[in-house]
Amino acid sequence: MNRRKFLRGTTVLTGLFTISPSVIFSNDLEAVAKKGKKAKNIIFLISDGMSSGTLQMANLYSKNILGKNGNWMNLYAENKVSRALMDTASASSAVTDSAAASSSFGGGHRVKNGVLNIGPNGEKYLPIWQKFKNAGKKAGCVTTVTITHATPAGFCVNSDSRNAENEIAEMYADLGLDVMMGGGDEFFNASKREDKKDIYKMYEQKGYQVLKEKSDLENIKKGQRTLGVFNSGALPYTIDRNNIAELQNTPTLAEMSAVAINQMKDNENGFVLLIEGGKVDWAAHANDIAALIHDQLAFDEAVKTAIDFAEKDKETLVIITTDHGNANPGLIYGKEAVENFNSIANYKYTNEYILNAIHADFNLQQIKDLIYQTNKISLTDEEAKHLLSFYSGLEKQETGLYNYKKLPFKAYSEIQKKHNNVGWISMDHSGDYVELAMYGPGSEMLKPFVQNIELHNLMLKAAAVIA
């Protein structure tokens, strides 16, 4: 047989089943689509502020206490995903905030911390969810913090300030985004806004159904544009919701994610959806291990929701990552490290809930009783005195992001550390490289190490969208 003809023939045959690297990495979007690798849908999951230690400890807790491996880690164990490390820097720092990080994904450019898709000279970078809307796809965001917060906003709008949440609430309506769910009633409710604008009414006039209770998800009108605002401020931490009856009228991240997918999945041109576990970041800022682990596990359930859909759908690219690290928590070496770590199963509430329950008129025994009832930790008299000092005004210096009451988060986490072997390097963001995983059409384009801005064009290329 002629060797040249044989080789040419085998190339044709193998081409029926595989895509050559030149096609995978080319800018020829038409070629990618023709090879059957086009992503009709994209689901982008962000566990905000998730350091690698957060992922590890949540998975260890899941295995040791719940008796199962985590969904994200199962994707690694079963070799189902492409995996990379990602550099999360912003234009102004090696340590990003959530606005600049989200803008890297959303606008494809690194911007300064604090702004959303605005360049150094006022350039406006068109956010990616707008690009996909222009291409005929439906677009949505669900989060456990305010829906107007930095991470969802970075996929959707341009703003000089991440703090302009009143304005961002109005921008979403003007853009006609299809599903928006999370917290933030104060940015929509006329009685809570300084300008007294009724933003809910604005949405209703544009044809949106407005949801305010978890039960509203059961009576949703299929396919109709949806605004779900289930709390003032962020949604409750998962562990508090699980143990406090009055908080159980708010949905979980996985429940919101499933509804959002169902609302958009029948669109002939597909959909794009951001899913954010926003309170993972807030828990890290507070050095609150119970809050951190349980909200990471709640995020992990949303990962399962997305992957379950994608495995059946076959046309969905799922991206799983974080926007940056935070506080770099980790399990610390010790003779009884694992046993001590497992004691976190005794924690029934967040540190935020526990520390809010302490008052200046408490005596030492009352504090000791409260801590034992909620964490099964027996405080010494000195530890109880130290905690009480924060409430008597002697040590009111503890601040930290999202700690306007100046609760002694750091002091209490140091006490817990003696019992659970969990340490923290800070109460703020970190510049470490972070985990990134992809499943589905387009995931083969992922390189082992990427900058955050590269995901913008990867999504467009995977969906064969020219913007």
Report pLDDT digits (tens) over 73-110. 999 999 999 999 999 999 999 999 999 999 999 999 99
377 and 322 within one domain: no
Residue 98 counted as domain residue = yes
User: So what's the pLDDT on residue 467?
Assistant: 77
Mean pLDDT confidence for 308-312: 98
Mean pLDDT confidence for 247-253: 96
pLDDT band at 4 (very low <50, low <70, confident <90, very high): very low
171 and 69 within one domain: yes
User: So what's the pLDDT on residue 394?
Assistant: 60
State the DSSP string of 302-366: HHHHHHHHHHHHSSEEEEEE-S-EES--EEPP-TTHHHHHHGGGG--S-HHHHHHT--TT--HHH
Residue 272, SS3 per DSSP? strand
pLDDT for 203-213, tens place per residue?
999 999 999 99
Q: How many domains does the chain have?
A: 2
Lowest mean pLDDT among 9-23, 46-60, 152-166, 209-223: 9-23
395 and 275 within one domain: no
Q: Is 336 annotated as a binding residue?
A: no
Residue 401 domain boundaries: 347-423
**Nearest in space to 463 (alpha carbons), one of 447, 445, 451:** 445
pLDDT band at 7 (very low <50, low <70, confident <90, very high): very low
204 and 94 within one domain: yes
Mean pLDDT confidence for 462-467: 92
Q: Is 281 annotated as a binding residue?
A: yes
pLDDT for 341-357, tens place per residue?
999 999 999 999 999 99
Is residue 36 pLDDT above 70, yes or no? Answer: no
Is residue 262 pLDDT above 70, yes or no? Answer: yes
140 and 107 within one domain: yes
Mean pLDDT confidence for 256-268: 98
Mean pLDDT confidence for 137-160: 98
Q: Is 48 annotated as a binding residue?
A: yes
Residue 282 counted as domain residue = yes
250 and 353 within one domain: no
Residue 14 counted as domain residue = no
Residue 10 counted as domain residue = no
Lowest mean pLDDT among 254-263, 330-339, 385-394: 385-394
Mean pLDDT confidence for 125-151: 98
User: So what's the pLDDT on residue 406?
Assistant: 83
Is residue 428 pLDDT above 80, yes or no? Answer: yes
303 and 234 within one domain: yes
Dihedral sign of CA atoms 448, 451, 455, 458 in order: negative
The percentage of residues in the chain with a pLDDT greater than 70, rounded to a whole number, is 90
433 and 419 within one domain: no
Is residue 13 pLDDT above 80, yes or no? Answer: no
Residue 310 counted as domain residue = yes
Q: Is 323 annotated as a binding residue?
A: yes
pLDDT for 357-410, tens place per residue?
999 999 999 999 999 999 999 999 999 999 999 988 666 666 666 766 789 999
Name the catalytic one among 62, 82, 98, 102: 98
438 and 418 within one domain: no
Q: How far apart are CA 427 and CA 351, in angstroms?
A: 14
Residue 224 counted as domain residue = yes
164 and 91 within one domain: yes
Does 426 qualify as catalytic in the annotation?
A: no
Is residue 431 pLDDT above 60, yes or no? Answer: yes
Strand order across the 316-321 sheet: 209-211, 226-229, 179-183, 138-146, 271-276, 41-46, 316-321, 434-439, 82-87, 449-451
Sort 247 into a burial class: Cβ within 10 Å, 0-12 / 13-18 / 19+: middle
Residue 38 counted as domain residue = yes
216 and 109 within one domain: yes
Residue 257, SS3 per DSSP? helix
pLDDT band at 37 (very low <50, low <70, confident <90, very high): confident
Q: Is 386 annotated as a binding residue?
A: no
